[in-house]
Structure 1
Amino acid sequence: MGHCLSCFKNQANADITTSQRKKDEMTEIVATHQVPAVMVSDYHQEEPLLQENESVTCYRNSANLQNANTLNSFGESCHSDITLQRTQPSAEKAPKLFYQKLPSIPRTMSSLGSSEVRVSDSKINQLFDQYKDSLEDAILAEGIENLCNDLQLNPDDFKVLVLAWKLNASQMCRFTKIEFIQGLKSMKTDSIKGIQQKLNEITSELKTDSEHFKDLYRFSFKFGLDVSTGQRILPTDIAVVLWRLVFTINEPPILDRWLNYLEKNNHIRGIPKDTWYMFLNFCEFVGNDLSMYDDTEAWPSLFDDFVEYENDQMNQNVSKNDMKIQD
């Protein structure tokens, strides 16, 4: 009908005995598996021991409610110690041990991967102010002459044309502020010495890079026009000067004969844009002696007249030589 006091005492003694026995077993389990703290380099070797450690958790979970309080104070502590040492390195120890093995990163590492040359806007503006006209916000003829002197160049030097090309100057003897600043930024320089170095590099590239040379050649026509008057045809005298200048490098064999023809024929007042552009193709096509010229091709009429004139000159020379032989 009920439980006597002795039954409760016996049951309590049994529980205490069982609890003590289980506590001894837990102590034996923990003692068996205790290991020193693991370094990060050996961390991957501890995985097999984790499976054995699971018995502690399972054993603790299977305990009855009365004994759970006793085991928790001991088992939780044991379980936590093993877990921190073997499965998850503590936030204070493991990262420190790990990062000690990495080489230190230089503070300037972020700049090592960038080869971009930075220029100073203030230096470019100061350079512009040094040469700009006193009345107009642009570098005019006098300022360009002073700039050429500092660059150790003559105003009619090929490199001055290259500089105007890189500045994308809209007309001769005039560099606007926007052209000058944007041009030097594109060249990645902000000093006289830097401009000199860049002009040397670009000039060397133009000797072998035909596409860049073509771009310079086409620019030269626009550069020679007087945009203030809306000029669309290049005056012959200006064209002759620009042809001699732009062909300072890679001079075609027929250039002198072509320019002599233009200078002798005063009726040729100007050079249209298509004639200027196609002259480069004309030089590549006709060769050294005009023997490859085909008058059935769609060449500008000025080229036909030039070839006819040259052939007449050649025939006259042949006739004169024949007459000398007969004499």
Structure 2
Amino acid sequence: MGHCLSCFQNQANADITTSPHRKKDEMTEIAVPVSVYPQEEPLLHDNQNSINNYRNSSSSQISVSGEQSPGELLNSQKSNSVSDKIPKPFYQKLPSIPRTMSSLGSNDCRISETKINQLFDQYKDSLEDAILAEGIENLCNDLQLNPDDFKVLVLAWKLNASQMCRFTKSEFILGLKGMKTDSIKGIQHKLNEITSELKRDTEQFKDLYRFTFKFGLDVSIGQRILPTDIAIVLWRLVFTSNEPPILDRWLLYLEKNPHIRGIPKDTWYMFLNFCEFIGDDLSSYDDTEAWPSLFDDFVEYENDQVNQNIKKSDIKTQD
């Protein structure tokens, strides 16, 4: 660290030719056992010759302009002699990586905010700085999707849209940056990736499921309970790819009971746990657990339907 190769070479020569317990005029008496370091014998002879040549030379040969001291000249001669004997490295300096190759991985993630802004302007409303129902419909056409497609819900989730039929400018820009895309083709590609991932990643799906409730609310009027008709549509939509066995019976129950006018957030959230817990068999349902009362009513209704079917089958059998 911090030392060049010549520094180590000078140090090696100093270790061979000098000793901290000897004077300079005793250096000629130093001998290194040849049997231990046979490969360094020529190097020692060269160093010894350099020392003798220096002692026999006249002091007038020293350049006046340089005014080197005898010790400095000796070190310089030894360094030159040793460097001639050191073999060059067997490897060559690697060429620098071309810029296009070194940045190959980062180019795919380089998103242009200018392109995102241009894309937003293409679909935004003429009077409001947001993409509204008509613009979203045009966007869906370019994405080759129906407005009620599951992938449109996924897009709204990734944009963190605050309500249906409306994408604000900040939601659109930040959302596409998060998706790492700035084009229609890029959005299509990302939606395909995310949709496939949702089938495997249950935690991501749960996040989408929770978002869907908030997405369905009309925040302009401070709505906190999802209207039942909207809830039915969103339940069918969010379970497009992984429909639970109980879903159809649950939605049919809601449609047959018009007095159920809204779905609170806790009921929406707990329905996912309800589906995971009971599967396709309501026999495992325990009404003493802390389930929403709407689930109790639904299970009771389903059990009554089953009992009625059993009684009717018994009557037919007796006939």
**1:224 counterpart (216, 234, 259):** 216
Identify which of 76, 90, 95 aligns with 1:104: 95
Mapped contact 1:57–1:79 kept (Cα < 8 A): no
1:23-46 per-residue CA deviation (whole Å, 9 max, x = no partner) reads xxxxxx9xxxxxxxxxxxxxxx77
Q: 1 CA distance for matches of 2:125 and 2:186?
A: 23
Cα offset for 1:86?
A: 2.3
Any gaps of 5 or more consecutive residues in structure 1?
1-28, 30-44
Matched, 1:49 2:26: no
Partner residue of 1:178 out of 170, 182, 187: 170
Kindly indicate whether residue 59 of structure 2 is the aligned counterpart of residue 69 of structure 1.
yes
The TM-score normalised by the length of structure 1 is 0.76
Shift of 1:68: 6.1
Q: Which residue of structure 1 aligns with residue 152 of structure 2?
A: 160
CA drift at 1:103 = 3.0
Q: Quick one: structure 1 residues 175 and 113, their matched pair in 2 at CA, closer, same or farther if it must change by over 3 Å?
A: closer
Instruction: Determine the structure 1 residue equivalent to 2:312.
Output: 320
Q: Which one has a bigger Cα radius of gyration?
A: 1
Q: How does 1:1-327 map to 2 (within 5 A)?
A: 49=43, 53=47, 56-57=50-51, 69-70=59-60, 72=62, 80-87=76-83, 101-108=92-99, 109-112=101-104, 114=106, 117-327=109-319
Are the aligned partners of 2:213 and 2:265 in contact in 1 as well (CA < 8 Å)?
A: yes
Name the CA shift for 1:48/1:172 in 2 (closer, same or farther; >3 Å): farther
- Does the residue aligned with 1:152 lie in a helix, a strand or coil? coil
Q: Distance in 1 between matches of 2:74 and 2:143?
A: 81
Tell me: CA distance 1:99–1:200, structure 2 relative to 1, closer, same or farther (3 Å). Answer: same
How far the C-alpha of 1:102 sits from its partner, in A, is 2.2
Q: Give the conservation status (yes or no) of the 8 Å contact 1:169–1:223.
A: yes
Q: How many residues align?
A: 274
Question: Structure 2 length normalisation: TM-score?
Answer: 0.77
CA RMSD, 1 decimal: 3.0
Measured in 1, the distance between the counterparts of 2:49 and 2:81 equals 17
Q: How far apart are residue 240 of structure 1 and its match?
A: 0.4
The one-letter code sitting in structure 1 at the alignment partner of 2:95 is: S
Distance in 2 (alpha carbons) for counterparts of 1:51 and 1:214: 81
Cα distance, 1:50 vs. partner? 5.7
Deviation at 1:320, TM superposition (A): 1.2
Q: What is the CA-CA distance between 1:104 and the residue it aligns to? A: 1.6
Q: Secondary structure at the match of 1:189?
A: coil
